[in-house]
Amino acid sequence: MGIAVARPESALFSPKPVVSPNGYFNRKKLLKKLESFGNGPGRINGLLDSMRASSPTRRGTDSREDQNSWTVSMFDEIMEASMGKQIVVFLDYDGTLSPIVEDPDRAFMTNEMREAVRNVAKFFPTAIVSGRCRAKVFNFVRLSELYYAGSHGMDIKGPVKGHRKGNQTVLCQPAREFLPMIDEVYKSLIEKIEYIPGAKVENNKFCLSVHYHQVKSVIKDYQQLRLNQGRKVLEIRPTIKWDKGNALEFLLESLESEDVLPIYIGDDRTDEDAFRVMQFLKRLVEWKKKKLSLLRH
C-alpha cells in the first residue's frame, strides 16, 4: 500500500509539555488546528462511525474479508478528507494491535503488524494509547519512533531523542500524586489475590488491572480510586478527570502543524473516551463554521 502525504521537515511536536494553568491543553488553540476538519459537515463523523462499526467485535466475528473490503473502501475517503492536513494516528494496543489472549503477559503483536505500524509512523505522527503502563506497551511494540500514552493516557512520552532529527520528548503525567496510593493498593491486592486461582494483578503504574474479581473489598476504603470494568479485567485508577480522550487532546495540542486530521483506532470501552473527544471537537468545528457563515451573511 502506498501513501503519499507530505510530512513537514520541522519537529512535529512542540519542544516542551503544553501545560496550561487550568489543565494540560488549550481547547481554543486545538479548535483552530481542527477548523477544516473534514471536507463537509458529516464527513469525519461518517468516517468515525464506519471505523467503529468495522473494528473487531468482542467475539471476533468479523472476517478478514470484511475487514479488507472496509479498508479498501475507506482508503479513498480518508485520503480525500486528509487533503492539506497533517494526519495523526492513534492506536489502542490490546485487541487492536494484538489479539486478546488469556495471559496478559503474552499478548504479543505479530511482526507483520509491527511492520504495518512502522510504515504508518514513517508518514504520520503515530501514538499508541493503552491502558497498560508505558514501559510494558513499549516492550510489546518496540518501535522507538512512536509516541506512547500508557496508563490510559496518564503517562505520555514522545520518541527517544535523536530518533528523528529535531524531535523532542513530550511528557505528561497528570496523576503523579497517586503513585504511592496505587502502590499501596497493588501490594494489598497481591496479598489477597495470592489465594485466588487464575486471578492476576497487573501494575500499570498509574492504574492497576485485576484479571478477575475479588477486588471490590480491597478498594472500598479508597474514595479517590474508582473501579472500571474492561474485558475480563477490573481496572483501578485515580478519580481525576483524565482518560484516553485527554491524552488525545494533549497530543493534538502539542502538534506544531496547524491543520490536522486525527485518526483513532481502538476496540475497547476506554477508547470510547477518545471517540467522544473527536465527536465533540467535530461539533465545535461545525458550530464555529456555522457562526462564521451567519456573521458573513
Ligand X SMILES: O=P(O)(O)OC[C@H]1O[C@H](O[C@H]2O[C@H](CO)[C@@H](O)[C@H](O)[C@H]2O)[C@H](O)[C@@H](O)[C@@H]1O
d(Cα 67, Cα 83) in Å, to the nearest integer? 24
CA 86 – CA 16 distance, rounded (Å)? 20
Q: Which is nearer to ligand X, 96 or 254 (CB)?
A: 96
Residue type for 185, please?
A: V
Kindly indicate which of the ranges 64-72, 113-121, 127-135, 155-163 contains the residues binding ligand X, using the contact rule CB under 6 A. Answer: 127-135
Q: Where are the beta strands (DSSP E) in the chain?
A: 86-91, 126-129, 147-150, 155-157, 171-172, 200-203, 208-211, 225-229, 234-238, 260-265
- The reply to whether 175 sits near ligand X by the rule CB under 6 A is no
Using rule CB under 6 A, residue 94 touches ligand X: yes
Give how far the C-alpha of residue 71 lies from the chain's centroid of Cα atoms, to the nearest Å. 20
Q: Quick one: 126 or 130, whose CB is closer to ligand X?
A: 130
Residue 37, exposed/middle/buried by CB under 10 A (0-12, 13-18, 19+)?
A: buried
Q: Exactly one of 132, 134, 205, 237 binds ligand X (CB under 6 A); which one?
A: 132
* 155 closest CA partner among 174, 141, 168: 174
Instruction: Sketch the per residue contact string, 245 through 284, with ligand X: x for CB under 6 A, - otherwise.
Output: -----------------------x-x--------------
Query: Binding ligand X by CB under 6 A: which of 18, 182, 235, 252?
Result: 235
- Whether 243 sits among the annotated catalytic residues: the reply is no
Answer yes or no whether residue 113 interacts with ligand X by CB under 6 A. no
Q: Does 101 bind ligand X (CB under 6 A)?
A: yes
**Which grid coordinates belong to 48?**
468515525
Using rule CB under 6 A, residue 130 touches ligand X: yes
Distance, in Å, from the CA atom of 119 to the CA atom of 99, rounded to the nearest integer, reads 20
Binding residues with ligand X: total (CB under 6 A):
22
Choices 52-60, 76-84, 98-106, 190-198 (CB under 6 A): range interacting with ligand X: 98-106
CB of 100 to ligand X, least distance (A): 4
**Residues 188-227: x/- map of binding to ligand X (CB under 6 A)?**
--------------x-x----x------------------
Contact of 68 with 290, CB cutoff 8 Å: no
Q: How many residues does the chain have?
A: 297
Residue in 29, 231, 290, 291 binding ligand X, rule: CB under 6 A = 231
Give rounded-to-5 percent helix, strand, coil for the chain: 40, 15, 40
Edge-first strand order for the sheet with 234-238 is 200-203, 208-211, 234-238, 225-229
Query: Residues 49, 62, 66, 92: which is the catalytic one?
Result: 92
230 binds ligand X (CB under 6 A): yes
Q: Which of 125, 131, 238, 245 binds ligand X (CB under 6 A)?
A: 131
Q: Are 82 and 259 in contact (CB under 8 A)?
A: no
Q: Which is nearer to ligand X, 130 or 254 (CB)?
A: 130
* Interface positions with ligand X (CB under 6 A): 92-95, 100-102, 104, 107, 130-132, 202, 204, 209, 230-233, 235, 268, 270
Active site residues: 92
